[in-house]
């Protein structure tokens, strides 16, 4: 990126596309929708991008790279399993706050996109994420900070789903911060809602 200003228009268009993909779904968003929102004609988009698919690819790749780099930082620390688990949860809610469109696209369209070679990396990232969670949960049980009678696989799916699905209702800049949501969620997850 020798000249960041030169890529401004390109990034602007990607942001517009991401918002539309998130709102209407990738397949239901037309290149004309994107062009309309950008105030240009559909043909003009092809000056910037090869195809609609390329736009999506660029959006998802840069987000995933950023997210997994952040995960790697947590895992490289020498915190205990429970702390790492909390940090990964917080990181995820932060990602929803900072990149709601990217998360929504991933939530809504990843299953469909995974079938294409071009988006095979989405499945790889999902596997990688699963490995991270299962590792932390196993470590938590082994070191005695988590209950021994839980089904690790099931807990993983519940955590993953509940965290990411929050993108459907969480609004950046709203009353609740991502940190508030993470606090409440970790309380429920770790201690439950039943009165002691």
Chain positions contacting DNA, by CB under 7 A: 9, 29-33, 35, 40-44, 46-48, 50-53
- Which residue, among 136, 152, 132, has the nearest Cα to 67 in the 3D structure? 132
Stretch that binds a copy of itself, among 3-11, 45-53, 60-68, 164-172 (CB under 8 A): 164-172
Residue 157 lies near a copy of itself (rule: CB under 8 A): yes
Rounded CA-CA distance 7/4 in Å is 6
Instruction: State how far the Cα of 124 lies from the Cα of 25, in Å rounded to an integer.
Output: 22
Q: Which does 44 bind (CB under 5 to 8 A by kind): DNA, a copy of itself, none?
A: DNA
- Contact by Cβ (8 Å): 170, 184: no
Query: How far apart, in whole angstroms, are the C-alpha atoms of residue 163 and residue 58?
Result: 24
| CA angle at 63 for the pair 51 and 166, rounded to the nearest 5° | 110
Which residues have CB under 8 Å from 85's CB, separation 6+?
Answer: 136, 137, 140
* Contact predicate 86/2, CB 8 Å: no
Pick from a copy of itself, DNA, none: which does 84 bind, CB < 5 to 8 A by kind?
Answer: none
* Binder of residue 150, out of a copy of itself, DNA, none (CB less than 5 to 8 A by kind): a copy of itself
Stretch that binds a copy of itself, among 11-19, 54-62, 89-97, 140-148 (CB under 8 A): 140-148
**Under rule CB under 8 A, residue 145 binds a copy of itself:** yes
Residue 65 makes contact with a copy of itself by CB under 8 A: no
**Residue 112 touching a copy of itself (CB under 8 A):** yes
Where does this chain bind a copy of itself (CB under 8 A)?
24-25, 27-28, 82, 108, 111-112, 144-148, 150-151, 154-155, 157-158, 161-162, 165-166, 168-169, 176, 181, 184-185, 187-196
């Amino acid at each position: 990126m020798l000249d960041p200003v030169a890529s401004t228009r390109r990034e602007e268009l990607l942001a517009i596309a991401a918002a539309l993909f998130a709102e209407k779904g990738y397949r239901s968003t037309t290149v004309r929708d994107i062009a309309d929102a950008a105030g240009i004609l559909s043909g003009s988009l092809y000056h910037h991008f090869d195809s609609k698919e390329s736009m999506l690819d660029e959006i998802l790749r840069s987000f995933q790279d950023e997210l997994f780099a952040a995960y790697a930082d947590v895992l490289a620390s020498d915190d205990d399993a429970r702390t790492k688990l909390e940090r990964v949860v917080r990181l995820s809610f932060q990602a929803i706050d900072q990149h709601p469109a990217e998360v929504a696209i991933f939530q809504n369209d990843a299953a469909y996109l995974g079938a294409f070679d071009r988006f095979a990396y989405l499945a790889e990232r999902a596997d990688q994420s699963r490995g991270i969670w299962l590792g932390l949960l196993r470590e938590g049980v082994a070191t005695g900070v988590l209950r021994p009678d839980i089904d690790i696989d099931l807990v993983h799916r519940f955590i993953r789903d509940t965290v990411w699905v929050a993108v459907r209702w969480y609004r950046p800049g709203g009353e609740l911060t991502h940190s508030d949501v993470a606090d409440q969620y970790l309380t429920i997850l770790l201690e439950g809602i039943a009165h002691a």
